[in-house]
Structure 1
Amino acid sequence: MPSRWTQELRWMRCNVARGDHEMRLDRWLRQQFPSAPQSLLQAQLRKRKIRVAANHNVLTISAQDEPVGGLLELQPAKAGAVLREGFTVAIDAHLFRNTLQALAPAAMSAERAAHPTHRGPLLPELLSRVVHADANFLVLDKPHGLAVQEPLPNGCSGHAVKDGTGLATSLADYLPAIAQAFADATPASGGATERSDEAAEPCRLVHRLDKETSGLLVLARSRLAAAKFAALLQTGQVRKTYHALVAAPTALQRQALETALALAGGAITAPVDGKPATTLVGVATHSRPDRRGVWLELSPVTGRKHQLRVHCAQVLGAAIVGDRKYGGPRAERLFLHAHRIAFPDPFHGKEEGDERGDGRQQVQSTSDIAVERPIDYVYWSEAGHAPPHIASERV
Structure 2
Amino acid sequence: MSNAEASQVREGVRRVSVDEDNEGQRLDNFLLAQLRGVPKSIIYRVIRKGEVRVNKGRVKPDTRLKAGDEVRIPPITRKEKPEAVAPGSRVQGVMEGAIVFENEHMLVVNKPAGIAVHGGSGLSFGLIEVLRSARPDARFLELVHRLDRDTSGLVMIAKKRSALRYLQDELRHKRIRKHYHALVAGGWSEAVKRVEEPLLRYEMPNGERRVRVDDEGKASLTLFRCLSFYEGYSLVEASPVTGRTHQIRVHAMWAGHPIAGDDKYMDDGSLKAFRAAGGQRLMLHARALEFSLPVSGDPVRLEAPYDEAFQQVLDRLASRRAAGR
* 1:278 partnered with 2:216: no
Q: How does 1:179-218 map to 2 (within 5 A)?
A: 179-180=135-136, 199-218=137-156
Structure 1: runs of 5+ lacking an equivalent: 1-12, 48-78, 153-160, 163-167, 181-198, 350-366, 385-395
Does the 8 Å CA contact 1:240/1:338 hold for their aligned counterparts?
yes
Based on CA coordinates, which of the two structures has the bigger radius of gyration? 1
- Aligned-residue Cα RMSD (Å) equals 4.0
Shift of 1:31: 6.2
Contact 1:116 1:176 in 2 (8 A): no
Q: Is the 8 A contact 1:136 1:222 kept in 2?
A: yes
Name the counterpart of 2:22: 20
In structure 2, do the counterparts of structure 1 residues 46 and 212 end up closer, same or farther at CA, with 3 Å as the change threshold? closer
1:236 aligns with 2:174: yes
Choose the corresponding residue for 1:123, options 92, 103, 106: 92
Q: Deviations over 1:239-262 (max 9, x none)?
A: 110000111134524611111222
Of 42, 66, 70, the residue aligned with 1:83 is 66
**What TM-score do you get using the length of structure 1 for normalisation?**
0.57
Matched ranges for 1:267-306 at <5 A: 267-284=210-227, 287=228, 290-306=230-246
Aligned to 2:302: 371
User: Which residue number corresponds to residue 353 of structure 1?
Assistant: none
For the pair 1:45 / 2:56, whether they are aligned, the reply is yes
Q: Secondary structure at the match of 2:133?
A: helix
| Alignment correspondent of 2:159 | 221
Per-residue CA deviation, residues 100-133 of structure 1 (Å, 9 max, x unaligned), is: 9xx7xx89x98x9699693324111111001111
User: In structure 2, which of residues 267, 288, 298 is the aligned counterpart of residue 340 of structure 1?
Assistant: 288
Task: Report whether the alignment pairs 1:325 with 2:264.
Answer: yes
How far the C-alpha of 1:325 sits from its partner, in A, is 1.6
Residues 142 and 216 of structure 1 are in contact (CA less than 8 Å); yes or no, is this contact kept in structure 2? yes
Distance 2:157 2:82 in 1: 18
Q: TM-score, normalised by structure 2?
A: 0.68
Query: Partner of 1:243: helix, strand, or coil?
Result: strand
Distance 1:279 1:90 in 2: 46
Distance in 1 separating the partners of 2:82 and 2:170: 27
Counterpart residue number, 2:9: none
Partner of 2:207: none
**CA shift digits 1:139-185 (9 cap, x unpaired):** 11111111223444xxxxxxxx76xxxxx4422432422443xxxxx
1:260 aligns with 2:198: yes
Q: How does 1:157-172 map to 2 (within 5 A)?
A: 168-172=124-128
How many residue pairs get matched?
Answer: 275
**What is the Cα deviation at residue 44 of structure 1?**
6.3
Q: Match for 1:170: what amino acid?
A: G
CA pair 27-208 structure 1, distance change in 2 beyond 3 A: closer
Of the candidates 310, 313, 316, which is equivalent to residue 253 of structure 2? 313
% identity of equivalent residues? 28
Q: Distance in 1 between matches of 2:314 and 2:233?
A: 18
Aligned partners of 2:248 and 2:32: how far apart in 1? 41
Q: Using the alignment, how far apart are the partners of 2:23 and 2:54 within structure 1?
A: 24
The offset of 1:237, in angstroms, is 1.5
